[in-house]
Amino acid sequence: MDLINPEPIIHERKNLKSNTDRTTTSEDQRDAIDPLEIFEHIRDITDPEHPYSLEQLNVVSEDLIDISDDKSSLRVQFTPTVQHCSMATLIGLCIRVKLMRVLPSRFKVDILITPGGHSTEEAVNKQLNDKERVAAALENPSLVQMVNNSLQGPKP
């Protein structure tokens, strides 16, 4: 089977300073969700093609995440490994589904290809941000299976 990108560049998994060392003094205090937290959720999503994570393939990174907890808005940009990657929509969908499952429902999430990152980025972005299309796609069992496989995380 021909891979779209037979020789991906693998990056190291970064050791990022985590917020979890902070102890919350009271239950009422809630730390604002920051880009690192979002990144922690999506870094280990597996690429559909290769047994590597999106972080290792540099598809997602912490600096491509913009979040405003106050405004309940989040924008995640991702960079497909190659310009014509046909998996781009699927990768974006995996990111969306993962975030849908872990974030409070108040968040408005935009998933976009890093500008200049794909030959048909407008078309991919439009699909990824059309909630009716996403909802219909997620009623397709085989597509959901593919997404779930990617969300399982790195294989042991």
Residues that bind other proteins (CB under 8 A): 18-20, 24, 27, 30-31, 33, 36-37, 40-41, 44, 97-98, 100-106, 108, 126, 129-133, 135-141, 143-145, 147-149, 151-153
Q: How far is the CB of 156 from other proteins (least distance, A)?
A: 12
Q: How far is the CB of 77 from other proteins (least distance, A)?
A: 18
Please name which of 132, 65, 73 lies closest in space to residue 108, comparing C-alpha atoms. Answer: 73
- Terminus-to-terminus CA distance in the chain, angstroms? 24
Nearer to other proteins, 44 or 47 (CB): 44
Q: How far apart are CA 2 and CA 115, in angstroms?
A: 27
Give the nearest distance from C-beta 6 to other proteins in angstroms. Answer: 26
User: With respect to other proteins, which residue has the nearer C-beta, 97 or 113?
Assistant: 97
Query: β-strand 65-68 against 108-113: which pairing, if any?
Result: unpaired
Of the pair 4, 103, the CB lying nearest other proteins is at 103
Closer Cβ to other proteins, 11 or 133, answer by number: 133
Task: Tell me how far, at minimum, the Cβ of 142 lies from other proteins, in Å.
Answer: 8
Nearer to other proteins, 115 or 153 (CB): 153
List Cβ neighbours of 102 (8 Å cut-off, separation of 6 or more).
41
